[in-house]
Structure 1
Amino acid sequence: MKKTVQILLGGAFFFTSCQWMGNPVPSEKELLEKQIKEINWKEVDVYPSIADCEALTDATQKKQCFFEFLSATIQQKLSIDTLKVLFPKLDTIEVKITVNPDASLEFEPQFPRDTVAYDTIKIDSILKVKLVDFPKVHPAIKRGIPVKSQFILPVIIKSEQ
């Protein structure tokens, strides 16, 4: 009787273990490739931010706070400049802002491809001189790692009247 039970249990174990062997375990490389394909590389988990916006808990409000801060700061830095004098018809500049993983900022004006009305080199040099000494910016985060993020921000150049 004991032998029969042992044989039945052994056979059951043998057949169920064969079932587990039928499904190959994916390799580490296959798992990594699958995870990489699932990642949305166009979106970050946490947008760049500044200390004043960190108190906000809602991600949308935090993002809006950051963009409003950048826009207001750039407008303030450019309002005391000669841009309005040199280019009186220029009312808005689109600025490509890059927040690097080391929290450094880069600014690059964006002009339409057919722009000949403005001296783009002069505007670029004015922006590079004026857009310095920004408060510390926390970079964007993707899967727990600081990453480079870029966006284009329209900046209205206010006239002093």
Structure 2
Amino acid sequence: MRPFFIFSIFIFFNSCQYFEKQVPSEKELLQKELKSINWKEVDEYPTVADCETITDKKERQKCFFDFMSQQIQQKLDTDTLSLLYPELDTVNVKVTVFPNAKIKFEPQFSKDSTSYNKTEIDSILQARLVDFPKVNPAIKRGLPVKTQFILPVILKSKEAKNQLHKK
């Protein structure tokens, strides 16, 4: 019995080498993890206090975009953009939300829009879009990240412009 016991211990310790696996290096693990991350998606979209209570990710995103569009429209409704450019009914605004919760707004124009003074429109946007409600940045893997998106902002409906011109 004793020789069998010693023999089985000998086999047990020698068989471990057959199960040995090569452990990947730290750099290989990091590269594999970085490749598995979808950098075009965030875990949580930027949000505002009004949308915090919504738990569904898509509904929260929609609430945020609707809120941002509405806020920008309200701030631009009383502006001279519609008087300076009556044919301009929609402005695409590139919104950047930084990890420190700061917001930057930039007007986006199509390549064929040469009839607009882009600098003037940009300065009007920058002057009007101040004192914006606090926006919480997007979250990726537990960390705040920079996000950018383009919002189409309707300046005035065509009916309102027509009524304005009839007066």
Is TM > 0.5 for Structure 1 vs Structure 2?
A: yes
Question: 1:124 Cα shift?
Answer: 0.6
Note the alpha carbon deviations across 1:3-22, whole angstroms, 9 max, x for none.
2221122213211x11132x
Aligned to 2:3: 3
Cα distance in structure 1, aligned partners of 2:61 and 2:155:
22
Alignment of 1:35-54 (within 5 A): 35-54=33-52
- Match for residue 30 of structure 1 among 28, 31, 38: 28
Alignment of 1:1-161 (within 5 A): 1-15=1-15, 17-21=16-20, 23-158=21-156, 159=160, 161=164
Note the alpha carbon deviations across 1:43-85, whole angstroms, 9 max, x for none.
0000000011001111111111100110000000000000011
Is the partner of 1:121 in helix, strand or coil?
helix
Cα distance in structure 1, aligned partners of 2:114 and 2:138:
35
The root-mean-square deviation of aligned C-alpha atoms, in Å, is: 1.1
Cα distance in structure 2, aligned partners of 1:4 and 1:55:
68
Is the partner of 2:22 in helix, strand or coil?
coil
Query: Which one is further off, 5-14 or 138-147?
Result: 5-14
Cα distance in structure 2, aligned partners of 1:92 and 1:145:
34
Is the partner of 2:19 in helix, strand or coil?
helix
Query: Which one is further off, 1-10 or 72-81?
Result: 1-10
Cα distance in structure 1, aligned partners of 2:30 and 2:19:
23
Note the alpha carbon deviations across 1:24-56, whole angstroms, 9 max, x for none.
011111111100000000000000000110011
Is the partner of 2:148 in helix, strand or coil?
strand
Consecutive unaligned residues in structure 1, runs of 5 or more = none
Amino acid paired to 2:17: C
- Paired residue total: 159
Cα distance in structure 1, aligned partners of 2:133 and 2:78:
19
User: Which consecutive aligned stretches of 4+ in structure 1 deviate over 2 angstroms post-superposition?
Assistant: none
Note the alpha carbon deviations across 1:109-152, whole angstroms, 9 max, x for none.
00011221111111010001001111110000000000000000
Consecutive unaligned residues in structure 2, runs of 5 or more = none
